[in-house]
C-alpha cells in the first residue's frame, strides 16, 4: 500500500512488528520524526517516531532509539502532526458509493438553474445513453415546489433523464423517460404515485412509481464497476479509510474485487 501524507495525518495500515539488531537496513526505509503517533495497542500508547520499510510500519518508538537502530533512506519531520492507524468502516456499500460517483452530484443545489448547470457539466460518466443523478431537494430552493419534466426537456430533449431526490423517495424524469416507461395520466402504482400537473405526468415519481423508470436503466458493466471501485478507493484513502465491510455484494462483484486486488490495482482491504 502506498503511504500518503496529507496536511494533518498520515494514512497508513498499521502493521507493526518487532525488529531487533543494530543499524538495520531495509529497502525503501523511511524514518518519520516529530509526530504524535497513536499506536492503538492494548494500552493506547503513543510514540513520536516510526520506521516504514517497503510500505509497512515496522516499528514505532522514540526518535533517538529508532535513529540508532535503523539506517533510513529518508528522514521526514512531521512537525508535530498526528498519525493514526487506518480507519475501518464496519458496514458500508463501497462499490455503490463508487457507482454513485459516476452520476451527477446534485446535493446542495439551491435552484433548478444550478441543477441544469451541473447536468450540462457532468451528466453521467457511466452510461451516456442515460443522464442520471442524485441529491436534489426542492426544500433547499426558494420556491419549494417540485420541478417538472419540461425543465429537463429544455436541455435533454432526446436522452432519458432520471434524477433521484436526496432521500431516495422521489425521482425527477423527463418526457423521454416517461414515454419509454409507458407512463400516462392513468398510470397507478401500489405504494407509489405519478404526480400530475395540468392533468399530465409532471415528471415526478414517488416511491414505487420510481421503479417504472429505474428498471429501464442499463446496469453498470464490469468496466464501470472497476472504475467505481478505484474512484471509491482514492476518496477513502484520502480521508484515512483503509478497510471496509461491503454489505450485499454478489458473486460477480466479489470476483471483480478479488481480481483487482490480485493485480495490484485495488489496495483497499475489503470484507464482503
Q: Where are the domains of the chain?
A: 9-85, 90-95+220-271, 103-214
> By three-state DSSP, how is residue 132 classified?
strand
Q: What is the pLDDT of residue 55?
A: 84
Fold of 103-214: Diaminopimelate Epimerase; Chain A, domain 1 (3.10.310)
Decide: 106 and 170 in contact? Cβ < 8 Å: no
**Count of all residues that appear for the chain in the document:** 272
Q: How far apart are the first and last CA of the chain?
A: 20
Q: Please choose, from the candidates 118, 122, 178, the residue with its C-alpha nearest in 3D space to the C-alpha of residue 148.
A: 178
Give whole-number Cα distances, 240 to 7, 24, 31, 118, in Å: 12, 29, 20, 28
Residue of 4, 17, 56, 10 lying closest to 33 (CA atoms): 10
pLDDT score recorded for residue 122: 66
Torsional sign, CA 251, 254, 259, 262 = negative
Position 27 scores a pLDDT of 64
CA dist 164 and 211 (Å) reads: 11
Q: What is the pLDDT of residue 132?
A: 93
What is the pLDDT, as a whole number, of residue 6? 39
CATH code given to domain 9-85: 2.30.40.10
What pLDDT sits at residue 26?
61
* Cα(96)–Cα(223) distance, integer angstroms: 14
pTM exceeding 0.85: no
Q: How far is CA 169 from CA 101, 135, 181, 192, 252, in A?
A: 20, 11, 18, 9, 28
Q: Could you tell me where the DSSP H helices lie in 104-210?
A: 112-121, 149-153, 175-181
CA distance 141 to 134: 16
- List per-block mean pLDDT (blocks of 10 residues) for the chain, which spans 272 residues: 39 40 66 96 94 92 94 95 95 95 93 93 64 95 95 95 96 98 98 97 98 96 95 97 94 96 97 91
What digits encode the pLDDT tens for the residues 116-165?
Answer: 999 987 654 555 689 999 999 999 999 899 999 999 999 999 999 999 99
Integer-rounded Cα radius of gyration of the chain: 25
Amino acid at each position: 500500500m502506498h503511504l500518503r501524507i496529507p496536511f494533518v495525518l498520515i494514512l497508513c495500515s498499521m502493521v507493526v512488528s518487532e525488529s531487533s539488531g543494530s543499524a538495520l537496513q531495509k529497502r525503501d526505509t523511511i524514518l518519520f520524526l516529530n509526530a504524535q503517533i497513536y499506536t492503538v495497542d492494548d494500552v493506547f500508547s503513543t510514540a513520536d517516531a516510526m520506521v516504514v520499510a517497503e510500505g509497512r510500519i515496522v516499528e514505532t518508538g522514540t526518535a533517538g532509539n529508532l535513529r540508532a537502530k535503523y539506517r533510513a533512506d529518508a528522514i521526514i519531520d512531521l512537525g508535530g502532526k498526528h498519525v493514526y492507524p487506518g480507519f475501518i468502516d464496519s458496514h458500508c456499500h463501497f462499490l455503490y458509493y463508487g457507482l454513485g460517483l459516476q452520476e451527477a452530484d446534485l446535493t446542495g443545489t439551491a435552484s433548478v438553474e444550478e441543477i441544469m448547470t451541473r447536468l450540462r457539466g457532468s451528466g453521467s460518466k457511466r452510461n451516456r445513453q442515460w443522464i442520471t443523478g442524485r441529491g436534489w431537494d426542492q426544500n433547499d430552493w426558494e420556491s419549494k415546489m417540485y420541478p417538472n419534466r419540461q425543465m429537463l426537456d429544455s436541455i435533454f430533449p432526446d436522452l432519458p433523464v432520471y434524477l433521484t431526490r436526496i432521500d431516495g423517495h422521489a425521482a425527477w424524469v423527463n418526457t423521454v423517460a416517461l414515454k419509454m416507461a409507458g407512463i400516462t395520466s392513468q398510470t397507478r402504482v401500489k405504494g407509489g404515485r405519478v404526480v400530475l400537473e395540468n392533468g399530465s405526468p409532471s415528471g415526478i415519481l414517488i416511491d414505487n412509481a420510481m421503479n417504472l423508470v429505474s428498471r429501464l436503466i442499463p446496469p453498470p458493466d464490469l468496466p464501470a464497476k472497476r472504475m467505481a471501485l478505484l474512484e471509491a478507493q482514492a476518496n477513502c484513502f484520502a480521508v484515512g479509510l483503509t478497510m471496509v465491510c461491503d454489505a450485499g455484494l454478489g458473486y460477480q462483484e466479489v470476483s471483480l474485487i478479488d481480481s483487482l486486488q490480485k493485480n495490484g490495482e485495488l489496495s483497499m482491504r475489503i470484507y464482503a
